[in-house]
């Protein structure tokens, strides 16, 4: 029976842990008195069974149990009520004359008086212990919530995430759903009545501390109030739920207090700075996109004019007949094309580090990829032998062929730069352990161990690169493109001065590889 | 270029691009009209005779695809799109909408003229293309449905022939994968890109000197294939 009472006490105590549960009790002090009386009644029941089995003399002591439970879980008033009720119950049920509040035995009268004093003092002490425990528990929870909140704040990368964090924190603190609205325009999705109230509130010059509005459809009450003084257009919309008009003012007051608390906390944590940072990051991203847009248009368009014009000049009879002029025209075109490729490389690098690569996957023939890259580079490799060797019947690969081709072009470009003028460059595609390998080999300076391990890093330029121009981006871009398609890159060299070989390993064709058999034909 | 001096309409918002295109086409005895915006271009196209439309993909006032679509609504004249790299999907979309070919900026005039000649020749002959198409050692007689390589007949399966025929009808210009899939297999297989790759391998083995390095049936990565015709 005591266990049952303890269980009940624990259940009541558990209720205290949640703000809503606590509010339920604080909202109805009568209910805690009712629980206290119920505890006394339960004890009376136990004792009446007990007295039938054995004779109990000072059974009033047993009533200390409900009194202490009431004190520890419900507070001092219910405990006092429980003490008085216990005295009455003892007098009524157990001390003769039975079923009468009169007590005939003076010793029993003294007994009851003593009990009442002890019970009230004990109740008081227990209630104080409870209050202390509750305070400590509250503080612990608050610290925990604050810690979680500040951690999430520091992890937030953009304004939206930040707003969600603030919303969650305020919701937890107030026990109601809180929406943080950057401005009135962010109120989309809220009920119409709330939206117009938010708009009116945000537009008002002289602001009240908060207004409440009722949504007709759900009959929920919303509280609209200013969020932070630093962000004058921001608004908090709090869904108070379906509260009775009588308790609304009280709930509103509590939320106001919680929000004021939260504002102080947010201030302490430098939330406004974080919000500012997030805004700055967003603006930088916009600026970067605009810059890339203007670079690709503003720089590449004139280059297209230069290349086009030079190509017409090169065909003109007066220039064709003059070898030197023809050579100059070729330089104009070649250099303009080189500049265009450099810009493309910067754009690619910027795309990789900002939005990432989005491959357009399809079934592609590795031979087509190799031939396209070779055709792309051949015009630039005049005077150098570019040999292409593609094995028969290579399996189709599921990749973005354009990305792989661009990666291969970067590798050929690299091989051209770091091998002696006139030395041959060899491209070979073959099947190796079930996967297609496309390798670019040169007779250049070769690779050191450090080159091998770092050559696909961004901005890495090898020790032999002092005499050539380059950004250190080419192979890094190649690797990013190939890995985006599920492939990998490798580098091999027999040693310094003995040439090098970089290769693209295409992803292995999976189980759903299309058949290359005859069934496709009639 | 062809029998009469063709009228070329160049729509590009960059003046310098228009200038070199004008110079390049005038050297080929074409009459050139220019427009800086899509709206101007479309208006000009209704006022002047247009045999060839050169249109930039990125115009300030209208999407390139819209220009192609509107022009195609009332004119069969060839359209060549000027695009930038890494817009393969956009290129395919424009080709599907009725553009005949594209060049990627920066491009040499010779490249654009080769595309333009092929498109103009096909248009002048009236669809569906010339009855006999020659590409290096390869001769395709579309009327007689016969294919010869260095004068010797080549035996092709019906699907191989349909693939070659679709490319020959657009000789010199790019043909998209989905168009080829429709032409060879019909509507139901337009997503099966690997069908076309495998069939193309077989066809190349019968036609190309080295099937791994084709000279006649050229791949346009991410877009489609092109039948490379002589002297261009």
DSSP string, A467-494: GS---S-HHHHHHHHHHHTT-EEEEEES
- C-beta atoms of A312 and B109 within 8 A: yes
**pLDDT value at residue A511:** 59
Question: For A485, what's the count of Cα atoms within 13 Å in the CB-facing half-sphere?
Answer: 30
Query: A24 or B75: whose pLDDT is higher?
Result: B75
Chain A contacts in chain B segment 200-229 (CB below 8 A): 200-202, 211-214, 219, 221-222
- Percentage of residues of chain B with pLDDT beyond 70: 92
At residue B39 the predicted structure's pLDDT band, cuts being 50, 70 and 90, is very high
**pLDDT value at residue A27:** 42
As a whole number, the mean pLDDT across chain A is 79
Chain A residues with beta carbon closer than 8 angstroms to that of B163: none
Residue B1, pLDDT > 60, answer no
Residue B208, pLDDT > 70, answer yes
At residue A23 the predicted structure's pLDDT band, cuts being 50, 70 and 90, is very low
- Dihedral over Cα of A311, A315, A318, A323: its sign: positive
**pLDDT value at residue A518:** 45
Cis peptide preceding B106, ω within 30 of 0: yes
**pLDDT value at residue A463:** 65
Task: Give how far A319 is from chain B: nearest CA, Å.
Answer: 15
Tally of CB atoms within 10 A around A315: 17
Least confident of A460-469, B34-43, B179-188: A460-469
At residue A152 the predicted structure's pLDDT band, cuts being 50, 70 and 90, is confident
Tens of pLDDT, residues A78-89: 888 888 998 888
Tens of pLDDT, residues A313-367: 998 888 889 999 999 998 999 889 888 888 888 888 877 777 778 888 888 999 9
Chain A residues with beta carbon closer than 8 angstroms to that of B85: 344
**A392 has a chain B CB within 8 A of its CB:** yes
Cβ atoms of residues A386 and A422 within 8 Å: no
In whole angstroms, give the CA distance from residue A117 to residue A271: 54
**B186 has a chain A CB within 8 A of its CB:** no
**pLDDT value at residue A275:** 67
Residue A11, pLDDT > 70, answer no
Task: Give how far B34 is from chain A: nearest CA, Å.
Answer: 15
Chain B residues with beta carbon closer than 8 angstroms to that of A396: 194, 197-198
Cβ atoms of residues B149 and B217 within 8 Å: no
Chain A residues with beta carbon closer than 8 angstroms to that of B224: none
- C-beta atoms of B108 and A521 within 8 A: no
In whole angstroms, give the CA distance from residue A193 to residue A85: 51
Tens of pLDDT, residues A50-75: 888 877 666 778 888 888 888 888 88
User: Pick from A178, A173, A277: which is nearest to A225 by CA?
Assistant: A178
Q: Is the pTM of this model over 0.80?
A: no
Tens of pLDDT, residues A184-216: 777 777 888 888 888 888 777 666 667 778 877
Cβ atoms of residues A37 and A81 within 8 Å: yes
Cβ atoms of residues A444 and A419 within 8 Å: yes
At residue B131 the predicted structure's pLDDT band, cuts being 50, 70 and 90, is confident
**pLDDT value at residue B86:** 64
- C-beta atoms of B193 and A363 within 8 A: yes
Q: What is the mean pLDDT of residues B81-106?
A: 86
Q: What is the mean pLDDT of residues A497-520?
A: 73
What ipTM describes this predicted complex? Answer: 0.87
**pLDDT value at residue B205:** 92
Of residues A401, A514, A516, nearest to B222 (C-beta): A401
Least confident of A93-97, A482-486, B13-17: A93-97
Query: A186 or A222: whose pLDDT is higher?
Result: A222
**pLDDT value at residue B232:** 43
Structure token digits, residue A408: 């291969």
**pLDDT value at residue A467:** 60
Tens of pLDDT, residues A392-411: 888 889 999 999 999 999 99
Of residues B88, B110, B159, nearest to A521 (C-beta): B159
- C-beta atoms of B194 and A307 within 8 A: no
Structure token digits, residue A427: 């491209």
């Amino acid at each position: 029976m005591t266990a049952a009472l303890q269980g009940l006490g624990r259940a009541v105590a558990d209720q205290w842990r949640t703000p809503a549960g606590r509010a339920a009790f604080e909202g109805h002090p009568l209910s805690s008195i009712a629980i206290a009386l119920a505890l006394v009644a339960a004890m009376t029941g136990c004792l009446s069974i007990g007295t039938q089995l054995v004779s109990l003399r000072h059974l009033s002591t047993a009533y200390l149990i409900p009194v202490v439970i009431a004190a520890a879980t419900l507070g001092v008033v219910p405990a006092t009520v429980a003490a008085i009720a216990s005295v009455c119950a003892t007098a009524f049920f157990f001390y003769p004359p039975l079923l009468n509040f009169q007590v005939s035995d003076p010793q029993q009268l003294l007994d009851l008086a003593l009990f009442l004093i002890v019970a009230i003092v004990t109740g008081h002490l227990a209630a104080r212990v409870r209050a202390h425990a509750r305070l400590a528990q509250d503080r612990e929870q608050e610290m925990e919530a604050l810690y979680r909140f500040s951690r999430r704040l520091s992890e937030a990368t953009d304004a939206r995430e930040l707003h969600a964090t603030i919303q969650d924190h305020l919701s937890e603190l107030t026990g109601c759903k809180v929406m943080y609205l950057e401005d009135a325009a962010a109120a989309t999705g809220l009920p119409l009545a709330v939206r117009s109230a938010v708009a009116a509130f945000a537009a008002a010059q002289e602001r009240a501390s908060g207004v409440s509005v009722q949504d007709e459809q759900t009959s929920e009450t919303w509280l609209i109030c200013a969020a932070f003084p630093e962000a004058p257009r921001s608004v908090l919309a709090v869904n108070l739920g379906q509260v009775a008009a009588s308790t609304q003012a009280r709930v509103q007051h509590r939320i106001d207090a919680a929000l004021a608390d939260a504002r102080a906390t947010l201030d302490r944590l430098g939330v406004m700075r974080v919000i500012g940072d997030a805004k700055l990051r967003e603006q930088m991203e916009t600026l970067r996109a605009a810059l890339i847009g203007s670079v690709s248009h503003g720089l590449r368009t004139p280059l297209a004019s230069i290349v086009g014009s030079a190509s017409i000049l090169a065909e003109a009879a007066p220039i064709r007949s003059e070898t030197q002029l023809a050579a100059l025209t070729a330089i104009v075109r070649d250099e303009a094309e080189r500049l265009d490729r450099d810009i493309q490389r910067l754009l690619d690098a910027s795309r990789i580090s900002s939005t990432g690569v989005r491959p357009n996957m399809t079934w592609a023939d590795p031979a087509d990829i190799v031939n396209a890259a070779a055709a792309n580079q051949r015009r630039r490799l005049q005077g150098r032998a570019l040999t292409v060797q593609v094995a028969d019947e290579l399996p189709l690969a599921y990749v973005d062929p354009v990305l792989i081709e661009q990666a291969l072009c970067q590798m050929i470009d690299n091989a051209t730069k770091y091998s002696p003028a006139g030395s041959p460059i060899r491209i070979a595609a073959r099947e190796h352990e079930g996967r297609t390998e496309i390798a670019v080999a040169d007779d250049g300076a070769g690779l050191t161990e450090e080159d091998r391990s770092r050559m696909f890093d961004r901005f890495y330029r090898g020790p032999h690169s002092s005499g050539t121009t380059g950004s250190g981006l080419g192979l890094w871009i190649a690797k990013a493109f190939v890995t985006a398609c599920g492939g990998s890159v490798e580098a091999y060299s027999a040693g310094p001065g003995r040439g090098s070989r970089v290769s693209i390993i295409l992803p292995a064709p999976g189980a759903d590889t299309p058949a290359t058999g005859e069934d496709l034909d009639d | 270029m062809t029998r009469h001096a063709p009228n070329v309409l160049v729509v590009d918002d960059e003046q310098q691009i228009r200038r070199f295109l004008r110079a390049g086409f005038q050297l080929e005895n074409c009459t050139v009209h220019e427009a800086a915006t899509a709206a101007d271009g479309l208006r000009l196209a209704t006022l002047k005779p247009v045999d060839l439309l050169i249109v930039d993909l990125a115009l300030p006032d209208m999407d390139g695809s819209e220009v192609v679509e509107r022009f195609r609504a009332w004119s069969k004249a060839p359209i060549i799109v000027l695009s930038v790299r890494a817009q393969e999907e956009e290129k395919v979309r424009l080709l599907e909408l009725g553009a005949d070919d594209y060049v990627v900026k920066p491009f040499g005039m010779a490249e654009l003229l080769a595309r333009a000649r092929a498109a103009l020749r096909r248009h002048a002959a009236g669809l569906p293309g010339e009855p006999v198409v020659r590409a290096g050692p390869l001769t395709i007689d579309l009327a007689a449905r016969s294919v010869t390589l260095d004068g010797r007949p080549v035996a092709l399966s019906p699907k191989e022939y349909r693939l070659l025929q679709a490319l020959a009808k657009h000789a010199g210009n790019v043909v998209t994968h989905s168009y080829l899939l429709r032409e060879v297999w019909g509507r139901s297989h337009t997503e099966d890109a690997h069908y076309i790759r495998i069939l193309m391998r077989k066809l190349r083995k019968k036609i190309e000197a080295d099937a791994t390095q084709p000279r006649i049936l050229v791949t346009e990565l991410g877009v489609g294939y092109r039948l490379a015709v002589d002297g261009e």
